[in-house]
Amino acid sequence: MSQTDLSNSRNAAVQASTDTDASASTTNKARILNAASQLLVNKGIESLSVRAIAQTAGLSTIAIYSHFQGKEGVLDDLYVEGFRLLKNAIDATMSIEDPVEAAIAGTESYIDIARENEGHYRLMFGETGYTPSSNAQRAAWDAFASLVSQVARLLPTTSSRATQQRAAMRLWAMIHGYVSLRHHVIGSMLDYFQWHRMTMDSSSQAIREIYEEGRARER
């Protein structure tokens, strides 16, 4: 084997090792975040110590400090990840041509995220006493901006930004209200499918009302 071949072989081995390390790091971060989310749902934020997160994730406490610099870093990443999931779900429906159908699809995605990521959701909306950092809060504003952009499609193009934001808040408050009721009040009273139907029926009606009110102002 030539010197060039040896050099290329070493470089390939180094790159493979780097890729493996990066993959393991990503996997461990995901395990830590999932563990923290599970603990939030099952035991509350008071149970969320670095040791408990590490034990649930099957990792050492060193891994927590290595990836997140401690518990607050884990919480910030959970918060950001939750709002990014929400933003991406809303953005994915923007290609739907009918604005009403797009908003209904966005609502469906919102509900799915709230169900599949309950720990994230509770953290995102202040059910835990956690206060996000200023950097983390930007993710919430980005998600709200996506919602405003979606709801703006229901309104006349001449609508002010304030009008668009009020309509978005109206819809978001309704959906969030249903999700919070399920978490805290009616979770044991209605099965998921009954609750889902009620939530979608009410949200779809609100979306159509926003759209019709906008059309009426155009006349």
Tell me yes or no: is domain 72-219 CATH 1.10.357.10. yes
44 conformational bin, left if phi > 0, alpha if psi -120 to 50, beta if neither: left
Buried b (16+ CB within 10 A) or exposed e, 75-103: bbbbbbbbbebbbebbbebeebeebbebb
- CA dihedral 141→145→146→148, nearest 10 degrees, is 130
What pLDDT is stored for residue 23 in this prediction? 55
**pLDDT score, position 14:** 40
Confidence of residue 16 (pLDDT cuts 50, 70, 90): very low
How many CA within 13 A on the CB side of residue 174?
18
Range from 93-97, 135-139, 174-178, 214-218 carrying the lowest mean pLDDT = 214-218
As a whole number, the mean pLDDT across the chain is 86
**The predicted structure's pLDDT at residue 188:** 67
Domains of the chain, by residue range, sit at 1-69, 72-219
SS3 labels along 56-93: HHCCCHHHHHHHHCCHHHHHHHHHHHHHHHHHHHHHHC
CB-CB contact of 17 with 11 (8 Å): no
Amino acid 158 reads T
pTM value?
Answer: 0.79
Confidence of residue 12 (pLDDT cuts 50, 70, 90): very low
Q: Please give the CATH topology (third level) of the domain spanning 1-69.
A: Arc Repressor Mutant, subunit A (1.10.10)
Own/partner pairs, 57-66, CB within 8 angstroms, 24+ separation: 57/28, 57/31, 57/32, 58/31, 59/28, 59/31, 59/32, 63/28, 63/32, 64/32
* Position 17 pLDDT exceeds 70: no
Residue 127: closest CA among 204, 194, 183: 183
Rounded CA-CA distance 51/65 in Å is: 11
CA distances from 184 to 41, 79, 141 (A): 12, 20, 25
Residue 8's Cβ-side half-sphere holds a number of Cα atoms within 13 Å equal to 5
